[in-house]
Chain A
């Protein structure tokens, strides 16, 4: 057997060549030559929606020769939240994991920067809105990729007939299918008058004031509409401002036209309120409409999803994006990035949106005009304005622009809705503001 001595110079040259080859061409042909990848996605509530993501991932895996396993993790009982917490603690888990709105900042130190992926996607699919940037880009670095699956706008979903009958508003004319909105008159004042008229007509608006995300998101958009921020971008507490006072007074009046039990509502309550035929409007993605289509078609025929009313500081709508992130301890980061790119290709995104019945929303500006939103019915065009196709409203998140660690606490502890309920139940304005200030001071600790 011939033997040859390997010099130090030759060894270094050899390993360098091998390393270069591995980095440049990670997905060489051969059965699962590019290794394994585990993916944890949000388990979609729409029957059959998981199938679309499964097909996209399988097609990518076959092409790239990667052995992929997918876990669909439910958000029921906070399971997906607990999964991310457990994986972060254990420093072990999925190579790609779906993480909810505030988690990119929470796990910024543990997630792989995605600038290369996002630069490519933004170039291809258009810019992302400022809320996605606020939540997903930390200290100039993209920490996660905005996911199509699960991302949603929680704008108004209204009863066409009730708004016409009680408030004299033709919401379809204001937000016509296939055309830009004509909503200059759709202001907080008009909204309040409509809320009062529908309440008197026995069909109140159903806007929750509980501690779950639907309630918090609505409050956040109204607060933004008044320019009312509890904490500014530098972390200064700005609770005691005129804008916050105006927002609280607005909500106090609004609550007198809402069902009396809204402080106890959860994320299912508003859906039930609309599907039962009692409500004239809720703030929700089209899930309530979707359920109505199945269970109460006569209600679904009268539903129209449209833009938020405009406040003194602008027209803001709540946007709740999901993200896909890759842990730094992932063993196959290059394959993960490749899959994230594949999942955000326009054709893949359209497939995901179609499978969700129009519920899922991409965060990129060029991907808001898929035909499904124009064609979904009844009534035809009911979802046309859902993805904000004309950029007619600012997509926002409650508690922004506070530094993330404070904003997340304001959001999860529902400080805004708690302020609203306290004040509406008769607590003096200054006392409510003092309470909120003390709570937020506690969130500011490091």
Chain B
């Protein structure tokens, strides 16, 4: 431990060497050195690209001169941009709400399964989350295929007309949200399950003695005990869902009529495919204030939890 290292005897070999030695023995120095590889990784893979994106967003289309906030001003005047803002919010908020509800319900089901068979169920339910999203979305693409949808094929057997899963605005939005919920719900489930297992059984027993119904037990015991984990999971998921790319890209590529584009996919369309890299960078940076608010909530909640503990 660092404490032991700090108490080790020092050999006096001059003032400089002695002070360096002392510095190296300080807990904070050791902690910094141990964290240094990670700090370097974050600087190289996160800070530098983020800084470069900010720099790119301040250039003109030809990347030849500085335009300040010109790209952002331009975006504010674009109809498609506001459509993308609306769609990103709709996609992220709706998906997180459904993921939270489904995760909560399924976690309760799994929690009530006898411990002998619980592990199998937990494993199976995690499958959508552990498959790479681009792969599973490809399977969904085949299920939703405009002409050969497997789901429509089944519906046709019941005399129900085929649904334009990715061809009509509302259905296409529904489809991308559905796939996101399918992929993301297991994460909520496993987090909520962990939280449920930490709720002391005595609280439920006390509630039962007091004559609480199942709903009252959930409302007055389970939810307050899970409050922090629910908040953190939801906010964490909100960040990840806002920054989603692969599901929309694979399933609809933003169509039809740009009605499923979110920040990530539209930034790619404008910046890489369309050759306007500064504008693409500006689109992707627009996520920052939204995600920063979410991150602030997360950090505040974590601090609160920490002080409660």
- Hey, which bits of chain A sit against chain B, CB under 8 A? 78, 81-82, 85, 89, 102-103, 106, 210-212, 259-266, 269, 272-273, 276, 278, 405, 408-409, 412-413, 418, 421-422, 435, 438-439, 442, 445-446
- Contact (Cβ within 8 A) B273 A421: no
CA distance A82 to B253 in the complex (A): 16
Which residues on B sit within 8 Å (CB–CB) of A418? 257-258
CA distance A263 to B147 in the complex (A): 12
- Contact (Cβ within 8 A) B274 A446: no
B214-271 residues at the A interface, CB under 8 angstroms: 252-258, 269-270
CA distance A197 to B38 in the complex (A): 66
- Contact (Cβ within 8 A) A85 B74: no
Query: Can you list the 5 inter-chain pairs with the closest CB atoms, starting with the nearest?
Result: A261-B146, A264-B167, A264-B166, A263-B256, A261-B167
- Contact (Cβ within 8 A) B253 A106: no
Q: Is B61 engaged at the interface, CB distance under 8 Å to the other chain?
A: yes
Given contacts A261-B147, A263-B257, A264-B256, contact A442 B78 (CB under 8 A): yes
- Contact (Cβ within 8 A) B255 A263: yes
Q: Is B128 engaged at the interface, CB distance under 8 Å to the other chain?
A: no
- Contact (Cβ within 8 A) B74 A442: yes
Other A-B pairs beyond A260-B164, A264-B167, 8, CB < 8 Å: A261-B146, A261-B164, A264-B252, A269-B145, A272-B147, A273-B147, A409-B276, A413-B270
CA distance A418 to B253 in the complex (A): 14
Which single residue of chain A is at the shortest CB-CB distance from B167? Answer: A264
Which residues on B sit within 8 Å (CB–CB) of A210? 253, 255-256
Q: Is the interface of A mostly helix, strand, loop or mixed?
A: helix
Which residues on A sit within 8 Å (CB–CB) of B9? none
- Contact (Cβ within 8 A) A446 B61: yes
Which residues on A sit within 8 Å (CB–CB) of B269? 412-413
Which residues on A sit within 8 Å (CB–CB) of B275? 102-103, 106, 405, 408-409, 412
Min CB distance, B53 to chain A, in Å? 12
Q: Is B308 engaged at the interface, CB distance under 8 Å to the other chain?
A: no
Q: Is the interface of B mostly helix, strand, loop or mixed?
A: loop
Which has the most chain B C-beta neighbours within 10 Å: A211, A265, A273? A211
Which residues on B sit within 8 Å (CB–CB) of A103? 275
Cross-interface CB contact of A445 among B61, B146, B273, cutoff 8 Å: B61
Q: Is B148 engaged at the interface, CB distance under 8 Å to the other chain?
A: yes
CA distance A270 to B256 in the complex (A): 17
Q: Is B80 engaged at the interface, CB distance under 8 Å to the other chain?
A: yes
Q: Quick one: CB contact mask for B144-184 with A, threshold 8 Å, 1 for yes? A: 01111000000000000000111100001000000000000
- Contact (Cβ within 8 A) A266 B253: yes
CA distance A439 to B258 in the complex (A): 12
Min CB distance, A206 to chain B, in Å? 9
- Contact (Cβ within 8 A) B79 A438: yes
Min CB distance, B59 to chain A, in Å? 11
Min CB distance, A219 to chain B, in Å? 14
Min CB distance, A422 to chain B, in Å? 7
Which has the most chain A C-beta neighbours within 10 Å: B79, B172, B257? B257
Which residues on B sit within 8 Å (CB–CB) of A264? 146, 164-167, 172, 252, 255-256
Which residues on B sit within 8 Å (CB–CB) of A412? 269, 273-275
Which residues on B sit within 8 Å (CB–CB) of A438? 79
